[in-house]
C-alpha cells in the first residue's frame, strides 16, 4: 500500500551567496551541486500519486537558479502541488528588486515563501531585505513565514523582527522560532553555552517529520526527513534517484523499522531503548528531537546495537544501509 506523506523537500542547489556561521548543510558561494530537473519532475509525479500536498524547494539558496527555479515551481503547480521556496532573501534589497525576482515565480504558481532569518543571516542580509521580500510576496498574494534561527543570546528574536515590521508599516508575518542545533558549521562555530537546551522529557513522543517530509538532495540521494544533518547520516538515507524511482525509495522508507520507530514512538524512546540494552549513555538535555536524533545516529556503537535489535539492516551500519 502506498502511504501518503505531507511534504517533499527538494534541495535544489548546495550553492548560496551567504556563509552563515550556523549553516547545517555548510552551503556557500563555493559549494557545488544542483539537482537534476528530469529527476525532480519524475519525483513530483510520484509525490502527487502519494497525496503529497507541498513541495519545498530549498538549498543552499534556490533563488540563484533563476529561470530553472521557476521551471520547477511550475512543474509542481501543474501537478496540483503547493510550491514553497525557502530562502535567505538576499535578492530583495529594494521593493523593486523584490517584485522583479518574485514575478516569474508567482506566474509559475508559487504559493508559499519561507524566509530564514537569524543573527548569522543578518551578517550578510539586512533585516530590511526580509521586510521587502514579505512586502512583495504579500502584494502577489503569497503566504509568508519567517523562520528565526535562535540561540541564547540572539539579537534576532520575534520581538526585534516584530518591531522592524511595525516600523515599516507592515503586518507581522507568521514566525517560527527554530533553535539552532549543533550540526554543520554550527558544530564548529557555535559555543555549546549558546544552545537552547531542554530536558528530554519535554521532547518525548513521535517525530512528526521522519517519513512525512522525505527530502531529495542535489546528488539524487533521498533521506527520510529534511533535518540539516540528513545528507551525512547513513541511517536516514533510503535510496538514490539516479538508480531507481522515488516510489521504490519511499516504499523502502515505509518498510524501515527504524523510521517507523522514530515516527510512531519517538527519538527519546529510542534513547531509552539503547540505554536499556547497553552501557551507552546520552545526555539528558537537547535542543530538540533532531539534536538527539543526530547524536544517536552518528554514534557507531548505538548504530551497531540498533542493528542487533533489528531496527537497522545487518552489516556495516556506518554505510548507506539500503542501496
Mean pLDDT of 7-24: 95
Q: Which fold has domain 7-196?
A: TIM Barrel (3.20.20)
pLDDT of residue 129: 97
Tally the C-alpha atoms within 13 A of residue 61's C-alpha that lie toward its C-beta.
Answer: 22
Query: Which residues, listed in sequence order, are joined to residue 198 by a DSSP beta bridge?
Result: 286
Q: pLDDT tens digits, residue range 185-215? A: 999 999 999 999 999 999 999 999 999 999 9
pLDDT of residue 321: 37
Looking up cell 530553472 gives: 68
Say whether 122 sits in a helix, a strand or coil. helix
Of the listed ranges 96-100, 117-121, 229-233, 262-266, the one predicted with least confidence: 229-233
Residue 294 near residue 233, CB atoms below 8 Å: yes
> How many residues does the structure list for the chain?
323
Write down the domain spans for the chain.
Answer: 7-196
Q: pLDDT tens digits, residue range 31-65? A: 999 999 998 999 999 999 999 999 999 999 999 99
Q: pLDDT tens digits, residue range 54-110? A: 999 999 999 999 999 999 999 999 999 999 999 999 999 999 999 999 999 999 999
Residue 50 near residue 1, CB atoms below 8 Å: no
Amino acid at each position: 500500500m502506498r502511504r501518503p506523506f505531507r511534504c517533499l523537500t527538494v534541495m535544489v542547489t548546495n550553492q548560496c551567496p551567504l556563509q552563515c556561521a550556523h549553516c547545517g548543510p555548510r552551503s556557500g558561494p563555493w559549494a557545488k551541486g544542483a539537482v537534476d530537473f528530469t529527476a525532480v519532475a519524475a519525483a513530483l509525479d510520484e509525490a502527487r500519486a502519494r497525496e503529497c500536498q507541498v513541495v519545498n524547494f530549498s538549498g543552499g539558496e534556490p533563488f540563484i537558479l533563476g529561470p530553472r527555479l521557476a521551471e520547477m515551481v511550475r512543474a509542481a503547480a501543474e501537478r496540483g502541488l503547493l510550491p514553497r521556496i525557502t530562502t535567505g532573501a538576499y535578492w530583495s534589497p529594494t521593493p523593486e528588486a523584490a517584485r522583479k525576482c518574485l514575478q516569474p515565480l508567482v506566474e509559475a504558481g508559487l504559493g508559499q515563501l519561507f524566509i530564514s532569518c537569524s543573527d548569522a543571516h543578518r551578517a550578510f542580509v539586512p533585516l530590511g531585505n526580509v521586510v521587502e521580500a514579505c512586502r512583495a510576496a504579500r502584494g502577489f498574494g503569497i503566504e509568508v513565514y519567517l523562520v528565526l534561527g535562535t540561540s541564547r543570546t540572539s539579537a534576532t528574536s520575534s520581538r526585534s523582527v516584530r518591531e522592524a515590521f511595525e516600523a515599516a508599516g507592515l503586518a507581522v508575518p507568521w514566525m517560527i522560532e527554530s533553535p539552532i542545533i549543533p550540526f554543520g558549521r554550527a558544530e564548529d562555530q557555535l559555543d555549546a553555552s549558546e544552545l537552547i537546551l531542554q530536558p528530554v522529557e519535554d521532547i518525548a513522543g513521535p517525530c512528526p517529520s521522519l517519513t512525512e517530509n522525505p527530502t531529495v538532495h542535489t546528488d539524487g540521494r533521498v533521506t527520510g526527513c529534511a533535518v540539516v544533518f540528513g545528507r551525512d547520516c547513513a541511517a536516514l538515507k533510503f535510496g538514490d534517484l539516479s538508480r531507481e524511482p522515488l516510489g521504490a525509495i519511499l516504499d523502502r522508507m515505509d518498510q524501515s523499522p527504524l523510521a517507523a520507530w522514530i515516527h510512531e514512538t519517538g527519538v527519546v524512546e529510542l534513547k531509552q531503548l539503547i540505554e536499556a540494552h547497553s552501557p551507552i549513555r546520552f545526555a539528558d538535555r537537547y535542543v530538540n528531537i533532531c539534536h538527539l536524533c543526530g547524536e544517536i545516529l552518528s554514534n557507531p556503537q548505538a548504530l551497531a546495537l540498533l542493528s542487533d535489535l533489528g531496527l537497522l539492516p545487518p552489516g556495516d551500519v556506518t554505510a548507506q544501509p539500503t542501496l
